[in-house]
Structures are given as C-alpha cells and as structure tokens.
Structure 1
C-alpha cells in the first residue's frame, strides 16, 4: 500500500484492502485518492482529531448507512456520494462487499465548525452533503492528484479553502434552505414506504417505517411531512382509499377482501373510512361505477 493512509486512525474492519494512488500534503489539509476492495460486508467506526470530507468516485457498495450515535452495528441513515465527518465525532457505518474509489480530504484549521457547533440535525446532514460546488471541487482535487501539472499544490490549496468556506455556508446557512435540501425523503424511500403501507393485513408501526429510512420516529414524522405535506396517517388513509377505489371498479374481489387488502382490520372500519372520504359506502361506490 503506497503512500499514507488517512483513515489509519480509525478502527479498520476485516477483509479491507486499500491502495493509495495519490497523495498531497498541504499546509492546512491532506488529500488522497483511495481504491478500496472490501472482501465482505463491512462495519467500522471512524473518529479523528481532523475533519474529513469524502467523495465517492464510484458507487459505494451495498446499502451504505451511518450514524453518529448508538452501538456498533446500528443501521443509521443512508450515506450520500459526499460525506463530511466533523473532527472528534465518531461515525459508525456499514456497507457491502465490493470495490470503490474515493477522494478524501483531511482538514486542519480550515475545517468549518467545531465540536460544539454540530447539532444532531447538522450531523445527519453531514452524511449526505448535497452541494454541487463541493462535489465539483472535490472532482477537481482528484484530477490534480491523478494528473498533476504546473501549480498543482497552489490550485489544491485554493480549492480546499473554497471547499471549507462553502461547507461553512452550507451547514451554517439558512435553516429553511437546509431543511428543504436535507430533511426530505428520497423518491426511493418514499416508494418503499408506499409499498409497506399497501401491504395487506396489519399496518406497519411508525418505528418500523422510520427504521426503513434510518430515522428515529420523531425525525421520521418531521421528514415525512416535509416531503408529502401530510401526516403519515393522512397519507396512509389517502393511499388506502385510492387503492380501494381501484379495486371497487370491478365486480370482484368482495368488499370484505378489499378491506383486508387495503389494510383495514374489519369491513366495518373500511366502510366507515370510505364513507368519510367519499360520502358513499363501498357498495354504493361500486354500484355507481359498474351497476
């Protein structure tokens, strides 16, 4: 393994291989290009006295998740292409077997924030930094490492300074803007919630739905409402009624079976909910459609 491995201060998992194919030491930052080979699914904890910024140049294998709290192995929330690990905060993460490449920057005094600045919301946001400026600047750093040219170190220093300022703005900027960018369910997560809500039988609990997204129940409520404009119960109720309408457009299945398929415990509960939403009973609605 040539070069210096920045993550050596962490607790490295088993079956972990890394090749450092680029290294640059700057006065206030260290930058490296890493090629990883994970021989099996991984769990690891990383903490450093320096802040780290990582851009995945290739897909992170498996379903990578991370958390700054809880025991080893806690699922946490999904990791984005760009993650920022503040100094003196332990990140517990897990991911799958496979290969991955990253460009990693360890900051010195340039790093934004400090141990007392990081609220739980900002720590959550650091696991998926959605800044096109930071993403593109990290790509330029990777290019300076891969194909160094005249003034590469000066260029890298300038990029690191800009990244540091942009990160400070990103995390310290308008809370409303950050909530808009960070505190929403991804389309894939919302589809998963919809699939779970549409399963027949007993409905899933709030904690089960929150766990699917790696959130606490309280945070899930807030993120779900920011994404859909509805509470979970309102959203689930609407989905049930819309599915019931689709099933009632044919002569079968029986209304009792539709109640079960749409997640109602009894046909009476289904009939009452359907009437509140449409002013018609399920039987009257079906008769109006197909006679």
Structure 2
C-alpha cells in the first residue's frame, strides 16, 4: 500500500499514518481509499489545488471539528461523515485517537469548481457536514469498486461519480439559495447550533432551548425544522445520537454505560435497545465487530 495521496496534501503530523488501500484515476478525478491511524488527539491542515469530497466509512475518531481560518477566525464546526473542501481552501481540523477508513475523491475544473457555485460563508461551513443520502450512497459504491474491482470498474466508477457530482451540485445550490433569502428554512448555521447542543453529553436540551438558540418561537422552530431537514425533531435527534454512539463505541472508548449517559439515555438497557433497533447490533456487538 502507498502512503502518498494523489488527492490532497496530508498534514505533517508525527502521530498520523495514512495508507492508500486502492485508487481509481479517471480524467479530472482521482478516487482513493484511505486507512488512517491516529496516535493521540491532534490537528492539522488539509488542503489541495483540487476540490475534494471525503466520506468517513468508519466513525471519525473522537469529536472531530474543523474550520476555515479565513472566515471562522478560530471558531470550529463538528465534522460530519461527508465533507466537501473547495479547491485552494485550507481546512484546519482537530480529531481524536483511533483508526478511520475513508474514501476521498479529488477533482479539478472539469468536475465542480467552487467559483461556479458562488459559495457564501455559511454555505461553506455547511460543507463540513453534508447530509445527502444519495451522495453518501454513491461514494460508498465507488469505495466498494476500489476495494473489490471487477469487470469495467473504471466505467462503473465514472458513471457513479457523475451521479455524485450532480448530487453535490444540487446540495450546494440549495444551501446557497437558502442563504440568499429563503426565510422558510433554517440556515446551515442554525442547524450547526442545534447539532452542537444535541451532541453535548448528558440529557437532551429542551425544545424551547433549541428554538431559542435559533432565535425562534417553539412553534415556528418546529415548522422550519421539518421544512429544512424533512424529518421530525425526534427522528433527527435519534439519528444524531446513534451516530454519536457509534463514534464513542470505537475500540478504547468509554464503557457502554458511560456512552449511554453521554448520548442522553436513562439507562444502558434503553440505550442498547435503541442502538440495536437502529443498527441491528447491540453496542457490545458493534464494538467487538470494530475490533475484528
């Protein structure tokens, strides 16, 4: 396996190893599978002359955060499973100890150049947690083809990549349009504030507190939240908490009863039932599977 990425410049940190498990190179795009090992909490700057998409196929270690120094002035945002970094941008990131597998796709102007999108600051921050199921699925399909290539792998990867760029284009244009003045939806920054509160350890905040974070009445908050996410608040919070639990259940993480408390459950039994319903595995089984 190689250790030099063709997608972006890896941060120069002594506590990080990156192995390239496979690669598909097509005109205008390079797609790689990355295996990372992080020895202790650390930070670094990811940058590339190309735009790139990154999907974490396993939970990002710790509670990773990132920000653009040019617009955030030291402030950070929680990183989601899918992130998009425009060409030339410098993403400052901080993460925890552990292992991670990702698919990363770097593409040039024949793909989706940032200057054609007209990304504003809040939309740029929203690219650090892209919530698009179709884009997620497309990237996973490409990852499978890199890991287990078959007949006409390059042709299949190219077709799926075209779908991925279209989904990314739609997502960014929708986010930009909302920031341009769609008062019927929550802004990316309001969603980020909600996520910050939801992912704090312990009991969940009251709905009135979340509404206040967004500067809205409770009734207006409920309506805009559903219009923005397409989900009820209950469903959305449950999904975020299960995603948080998956990160905390990484090998070497806290005890399961501690994970249950941090994710807002009254008991380890209630947490186990909810986690099994969402993932098909108990928390203990999930942690053991990550060890294998």
Q: What TM bracket, shorter-length normalisation?
A: 0.5 to 0.7
Which piece of structure 1 moves more, 93-102 or 181-190?
181-190
Contact persistence 1:87–1:115 (CA under 8 A): no
Distance apart, 1:164 and its partner CA: 1.2
Matched, 1:172 2:173: yes
Shift of 1:90: 0.9
Alpha-carbon deviation of 1:163? 1.2
**Deviations for 1:15-39, whole angstroms, at most 9, x for unmatched residues?**
1101111111111100000110001
- The structure-2 alpha-carbon separation of the partners of 1:181 and 1:161, relative to structure 1 and needing over 3 Å to count, comes to farther
Closer/same/farther in 2, CA of residues 119 and 72 from structure 1, 3 Å limit: closer
TM-aligned CA distance change 1:142 to 1:126, over 3 Å: same
1:27 is aligned to 2:36: no
Q: Give the aligned partner of residue 61 of structure 1.
A: 61
| Paired position in structure 1 for 2:111 | 111
Shift of 1:154: 0.7
Paired residues of 2:211 and 2:218 also in contact (CA < 8 A): no
Q: CA deviation at 1:149?
A: 0.9
Q: Deviations over 1:187-207 (max 9, x none)?
A: 662474997999xxxxxxxxx
Looking at structure 2, the residues matched to 55 and 130 of structure 1 have their Cα atoms a distance apart, in angstroms, of 11
Q: Is the Cα–Cα contact under 8 Å of residues 197 and 205 in structure 2 kept in the other structure?
A: no
What does residue range 184-263 of structure 1 map to in structure 2 within 5 Å? 184=191, 185-186=193-194, 189-190=197-198, 192=200, 224-225=214-215, 228=218
Task: Provide the rounded CA distance (Å) in 2 between the counterparts of 1:228 and 1:194.
Answer: 22
- Structure 1 distance, partners of 2:107, 2:217, is 34
- List runs of 5+ in structure 2 lacking aligned partners: 222-292
Look up the match of 2:48: 48
Cα distance in 1 for partners of 2:12, 2:157 equals 28
Deviation at 1:74, TM superposition (A): 3.6
The alignment's TM-score, normalised by the length of structure 1, stands at 0.63
RMSD: 3.5
Q: By how many angstroms is 1:225 displaced?
A: 3.1
Distance change (3 Å), C-alpha of 1:121 and 1:80: same
* Deviation for aligned residue 1:89: 1.0
* Bigger Rg over Cα: 1
Partner of 2:235: none
8 Å CA contact retained: 2:64, 2:93: yes
Give the Å deviation of 1:226: 5.8
**Aligned pairs (5 A) from 1:261-276:** none
- What residue is the counterpart of 2:230 in the other structure? none
| Worse overlay, 111-120 or 70-79 | 70-79
Q: Name the residue aligned to 1:93.
A: 93
Query: Structure 2 length as normaliser, TM-score?
Result: 0.62
CA shift for structure 1 position 111: 3.4
* Alignment coverage as a number of residue pairs: 211
